[in-house]
Amino acid sequence: MDLKKIRKDVAVIGAGMTIFARRLQETGKEMSWEAAKMALDEAGLTLKDIDAVIMGSAPDAFDGVHKKGEYLLDGAGGTNKPYMRVFIGGGTAVFAPIVGWWHVASGMFKRVLVVCEEKMSSVQPHAQSAFGHIWDPILDRPLKPNLVWIFSMEMQRYMHKYNVRYEDIALVAVKNKRNAVGHPCAQLADPNITLEDVLNSEPMALPVRRLDISPPSDGAAAIVLVSEDVAYEHTDTPVWIDGVGWCIDTTMWTNRDLAFPKFVARAAKMAYEMAGIKNPRKEIDLAEPYDPFDYKELQHLEGLLLADPGEAAIMTREGKTQRDGEFPVCPSGGLLGVGNPIAAALGIKIGELYWQLAGKAGPRQVKKDVRTGVAQAWGDLMQVASVVVMRRR
Amino acid sequence: MAKKHELFGPPLNPLGTRLEAEDMEKIAHVRAKPNAKYAWAAGAAISRFLEELKNGRIIGRKCARCERVLVPPRMFCERCFQPTTEWVYLPGTGVVETFSISYIDQNANRVKEPILVGVVAFDGAPPHCGIMHYFGEVKPEELKIGMPVEPVWKPAEERVGSVLDIKYFRPRKK
């Protein structure tokens, strides 16, 4: 692996996203179009300027339509262009932009549009019915598992091994749902939510309660990536993708220690090395780790080497990860507050880093001056990580 | 740093039309129910594993290089990328690696009596290696990580070669 020899630097110059909601009237194609148009508008480009299109979208089972990439193609603006759909479960939200990055970094394309879409409301009676099909058909499915079980088991193991209190984990849900109040796309923003609300919310699969979980959503998001050759033709405030990394652990999940996500650390080290980051705690100013559950924000901060195992809970309790804290985490409101349309979390991970680092985040703008941020997503059978380091120069 | 947008952070005017559940009956939509059926081959390793479950035994497969006993068994070691070479019977006992007390079923329907489920790490296998299964004969508040457990098998005549040939795992009697 040669992480130094990249042909072209790659910048984000525009981002867009639809509202996130439990149900949207728009089809996946219509949502993709709306997000893509917003991103192009912010970048000051039209579809004619785009050389290639990347589509990120999660299981076909959500839509009941196979070859989903082709199903969404027209909305993503990929017609008559080099186009591909990528999918690594929840990790897609940050992996699709990585794929867009290598399209540009390779020198092949100057301007690439990355669109991510998810419509989880089509599958009946609940998105969980589709998630049932991701389990091993011989070993796991006879036990009639719900996907929440696996997260509950992971959370239990994490709390046990690193002596983490549930009360500290629940503070993440409070923080993110409050952060989401400033977000025009938010599904579950709540300015008045308290720790007690989370602690007393309905037990789902203990230790996981209802407010520990991000909601299923419909939504789409998009970003425009350009080569260093043309970035300043389009904007004065490009935000550069300086490091990317990804890694996947074994699918035999009952053979893993679920407490620490080693694959996240490997992906992070790859991205940090590429970005020339030696001490991530000192050199990174803010983070958008993947937070489909509140404990995942903590576990991912630790996997990203921004905290020691178990320490992220203490940082949260001490308020360091608040939007105006010394190390803001999920200033967007995260998946917990804005919503979780799997791949479309692109808009609250990469999109948010772009807006924050470009100083365009409005009421969500973190107080401190930020130059370097890290975004991360996680998925498949809780085994894959995608990491992107972004910088304002 | 200059803030271009004082009132609303981007996206400035996100689009999309929110619907409530009842709206789904009012607006145009189309219903369909796929009817796909599958017959999955269990494979060389798991077929033997299922056969032995029918016999009331847990079997693993050993990698000659790293000496891990893989449970569930595989015909190759994914770390060494070598064929595994030896079948190894395990006592079937283990410890609770992790667990969940679930009030939701597969389709997110609420259930009154919680489902006790988790991962059992088998004795004789490397740390953290086991299978997902139910727990029984234990109160939810008594379940603990590290608790020694043993399988409760279905009667021999009811076993069919499935993980459900084990009814559940219960706390091991001393």
Confidence of residue B9 (pLDDT cuts 50, 70, 90): low
Low-confidence ranges of chain A (pLDDT < 50): none
Strands A10-17 and A239-248: antiparallel
Tell whether B102 is covered by a domain: yes
Contact check, Cβ <8 Å, A360/B3: yes
Q: How many domains does chain A have?
A: 1
Closest CA to A337 of A141, A174, A114, A145: A174
Judge whether A197 lies within some domain.
Answer: no
C-alpha to C-alpha distances, A347 to A137, A278, B74, nearest whole angstrom: 33, 28, 40
Q: What is the CATH number of the domain that holds A338?
A: 3.40.47.10
Tokens (6 digits) for B159: 């076993």
Q: What pLDDT is attached to residue B6?
A: 36
Q: Does A325 touch chain B (CB under 8 A)?
A: no
The verdict on residue A210 lying in a domain is no
Residue contact A185–B131, C-beta within 8 A:
no
Neighbours of B140 (CB within 10 A): 15
Distance (Å) from the alpha carbon of A296 to chain B's nearest alpha carbon: 16
Give residue A98's pLDDT. Answer: 98
Nearest Cβ partner for B9 among A24, A125, A363: A363
In a domain, A131, yes or no: no
A69 SS3 class: helix
The reply to whether B31 falls in a domain is: no
**Beta-carbon separation of A132 and B107 below 8 A:** yes
Q: Which residues lie closer than 8 Å to B81 by C-beta, 6 or more apart?
A: none
Q: Does the distance separating the beta carbons of B98 and A142 come in below 8 Å?
A: no
**Of residues A12, A198, A1, A218, the one with CA closest to residue A96:** A12
The structural domain count of chain B equals: 1
CA atoms of A150 and A295, how far apart (whole Å): 13
Radius of gyration, CA atoms only, chain A: 19
- DSSP annotation of B139 reads -
Yes or no: say if A294 and A173 are a contact pair by the CB < 8 Å rule.
yes
pLDDT band at B35 (very low <50, low <70, confident <90, very high): confident
Alpha-carbon span A49 to A100, nearest angstrom? 15
Amino acid at B95: V
Q: What is the pLDDT of residue A125?
A: 84
Residues of A in contact with B61 (CB under 8 A): none
Q: A61 touching B, CB under 8 A?
A: no
Q: Is the pLDDT of residue B3 over 70?
A: no
Residue A226 domain flag: yes
| CB spacing of A128 vs B106 below 8 angstroms | yes
DSSP-derived pairing of the beta strands A52-57 and A111-119: parallel
Query: Is residue B2 assigned to a domain?
Result: no
Task: Judge whether A203 lies within some domain.
Answer: no
In B, which residues are within 8 Å of A148 by CB distance?
102, 104, 108
- The token pair at A331 is 């200033």
Q: What percent of chain B has pLDDT over 70?
A: 94
Beta bridge partners of A111: A226
Nearest to A264 by CA among A177, A370, A103, A375: A375
- Does residue A200 form part of some domain? no
Helices A147-162, A166-179: inter-axial angle, 10-degree rounding: 120
Beta strands in A120-199 (DSSP E): none
Q: Residue B155: pLDDT band by 50, 70, 90 thresholds?
A: very high
Mean pLDDT of chain A: 96
Mean pLDDT of B98-125: 95
Question: How close are the terminal C-alpha atoms of chain A, in Å?
Answer: 26
Distance (Å) from the alpha carbon of B103 to chain A's nearest alpha carbon: 5
Amino acid type, A64: G
Chain B residues lying within 8 Å of A181, measured CB to CB:
none
What pLDDT is stored for residue A6 in this prediction? 86
Could A362 and B105 be called an inter-chain contact, meaning their C-beta atoms sit closer than 8 Å? Answer: no
| Whole-angstrom distance, CA of residue A165 vs CA of residue A199 | 12
Question: Which structure tokens are listed for A60?
Answer: 């076909």
Q: Determine the average pLDDT of the residues in B19-40.
A: 88
pTM summary value: 0.95
- The alpha-carbon gap from A194 to the nearest alpha carbon of chain B, in Å, equals 23
Q: Which amino acid is at A269?
A: K
* Residue A341, in any domain of the structure: yes
B145 within some domain: yes
How far apart, in whole angstroms, are the C-alpha atoms of residue A117 and residue A27? Answer: 10
How far is it, in rounded angstroms, from Cα B170 to Cα B174?
12
Distance from the B139 Cα atom to the nearest Cα atom in chain A, whole angstroms: 14
Q: In this structure, is residue B97 part of a structural domain? A: yes
Tell me how close the Cα of A13 comes to any Cα of chain B, in angstroms: 13
* Residue-number span of the structural domain to which A289 is assigned: 10-125+215-391
- Tokens standing for A179? 């952060």
For B109, the domain range is 43-171
Does any domain span residue B106? Answer: yes
At A236-281, the pLDDT tens digits run 999 999 999 999 999 999 999 999 999 999 999 999 999 999 999 9
Q: Taking the CA of residue A318 as centre, how many other CA atoms within 13 Å lie in the half-sphere pointing to its CB?
A: 8
What is the arithmetic mean of pLDDT over B86-91?
Answer: 97
Q: B5–A360: do the CB atoms touch at under 8 Å?
A: yes
- In a domain, residue A209? The reply is no
Residue B38 lies in a domain: no
Q: What is the rounded distance in angstroms from the CA atom of residue B85 to the CA atom of residue A177?
A: 52
Interface pTM, i.e. ipTM:
0.91
Say if B25 falls within a structural domain: no
For the segment A271-301, what is each residue's pLDDT rounded down to a tens digit?
999 999 999 999 999 999 999 999 999 999 9
pLDDT exceeds 80 at position B7: no
A191 touches chain B (CB under 8 A): no
Assess whether pLDDT exceeds 70 at residue B5: no
Task: Find, in chain B, the residue whose alpha carbon is nearest to that of A356.
Answer: B9
CB A113 within 8 A of CB A35: no
